[in-house]
Amino acid sequence: MRRKVLSFVIIAAIWMCSMMACSNSTPDENTESKNTENGNGGGSTDKVTIRILTRYSNPDNVREKYFMDMVDKFNEENPDIDLQDISISDENSRDTKFKTSVSSGDPIEVFNFLGYAANVDYVENGVVTDLSGVMEEDLAWTSHYIESLFGPVNYGDYGIEGIYGIPTTPYGVCVFYNKAIFDELGLELPKTWEAIEEAAPKLIEAGYIPMAFGAKDNYRGGHFLTALSMKKYGTDLKDALIGGEETWNGERTVELISYMEKLYSDGVFGDNQLAYGADGELAKLESGEAAIVFSGSWNIGTINTFENASDIVCKGFPYFNSNPEYKDMWMGGPDDFMSISSKPGDDDYEATVRVLKFFTSQEYWEGLYQAQNGAGTYPVTFDNVIEADDITNQFNEYYGNAANMIGEIEQYDTMASLMDIVRTELQTIFADDDALSIGERIQAEVDAYKGN
């Protein structure tokens, strides 16, 4: 039988977290069973069952459809493995599904891993497998990868040796404009928040959403706050929050949340934000309802399929006229990672590694590169470069000038639950909550964590 290396402490902690996250879900939505001795649940003993968990489950998204097609291809080419794709688009549901598998003592074999300090407990407690050995055995496998992207899964600063994931697509948070709307109203594309605030009443009067905000996906608020903080304070606020010199109910943090609250109150984000998520934002951009969407490089390939793609223009996340020194500060860098839980010696280890290599191979990335016609960003370099589309070129013009990048602020804190707490609290902006109350509730959770 497969060995599971888990400590009682992390099982208890993650189980408590998952129970809270699952309060509105049925067990069938968040648990997957596996019979490792009978392959696919009592069927042929010739197959090894491997589960793979990502957020790629939307066939209307080019990147995600490619992944789904590659799952089918893997199963066709590997008849001795039953690869079960249990991916789910919603990030919270995906995370809950993984936590539940860990708390049950049967962690999913191949999964997207966020890395960074917030997830060090998974590494310390043996949930995530060190890949350095298998990487050294197959040097050609990762030879095209950009070395700097491995930083968030190298836990040397915590006294832990090894590499705990393979980078997926690097990203940058940016904005997409429907230029046709601005041309119609005789407006220039606004590059700053001051200009967006000035244009918003004219866009609203003409019946447009100035900037669609799909708050139903709570990560949208987390992304927005981090991107906003980089344009206002550079990395200073992130460093101060993680170092404890700043609090989540402190003046600068509350100022940023208050600004998000102001944009909401002024109608910049439109109406009914909690009724739709990130996919809804893109739908509003394509339909012509929204003038601007803040999103990321991961959606360039999908936007290129829009009927109005020729109207869409990409620029960096807006900066502040009052803080021009931070205009080239970005939220971005490595996306999440592909990791495994199976260990050398486990019955399913060789099959798990085969799955991991398939979905992180140079061939996989070259296929995605072709499927997206060169759009977006990638964790590897290519020998044969496709001439990029206009939106990718526009993105790269800004991305190439980035002075610094960070992931979401909470990823740098060892408090694993902080990301979900911040994201969930920021959702309450769209239920007319106030910034100070939001900051105080977040800080109360931080204080309780430190107290324990």
Q: How far apart are CA 440 and CA 56, in angstroms?
A: 35
Residue pLDDT, tens place only, 403-435: 999 999 999 999 999 999 999 999 999 999 999
Provide the pLDDT for residue 25: 38
Q: Work out the average pLDDT over 213-237.
A: 97
Averaged pLDDT, 220-244? 97
> Band of the pLDDT at 92, cuts 50, 70, 90?
confident
Query: How confident is the model over 371-395, as pLDDT tens digits?
Result: 999 998 999 999 999 999 999 999 9
Count the helices and strands in the chain (H runs, E runs): 18, 11
- Domains of the chain plus CATH, in order, are 8-170+335-360 (3.40.190.10), 171-333+405-451 (3.40.190.10)
Q: Given a cut of 80, is residue 256 above it in pLDDT?
A: yes
pLDDT of residue 58: 94
- Which of 30-39, 206-215, 381-390 is the most confident on average? 206-215
Dump pLDDT digits (tens) for 188-201: 999 999 999 999 99
More confident call, 39 vs 224: 224
The pLDDT confidence band at residue 335, using thresholds 50, 70 and 90, is confident
Q: At residue 21, does pLDDT exceed 70?
A: no
* Close Cβ partners of 71 (under 8 Å, ≥ 6 residues apart): 52, 83, 85
pLDDT at 31 over 60: no
Tell me the whole-structure pTM to 2 decimals: 0.83
User: What mean pLDDT, rounded, does the chain reach?
Assistant: 91
* Mean pLDDT calculated for residue range 176-186: 98
Angle between helices 219-233 and 236-243 (to 10 degrees): 110
pLDDT one-digit tens code per residue, 94-128: 999 999 999 999 999 999 999 999 999 999 999 99
Give the burial string for 171-191 (b: 16+ CB within 10 Å, else e): bbbbbbbbbebbeeeebebbb
Local structure of 304: helix, strand or coil: coil
Q: What is the pLDDT, as a whole number, of residue 2?
A: 45
pLDDT at 45: 58
Q: How does DSSP classify residue 429?
A: G
- The answer to whether residue 179 scores a pLDDT higher than 90 is yes
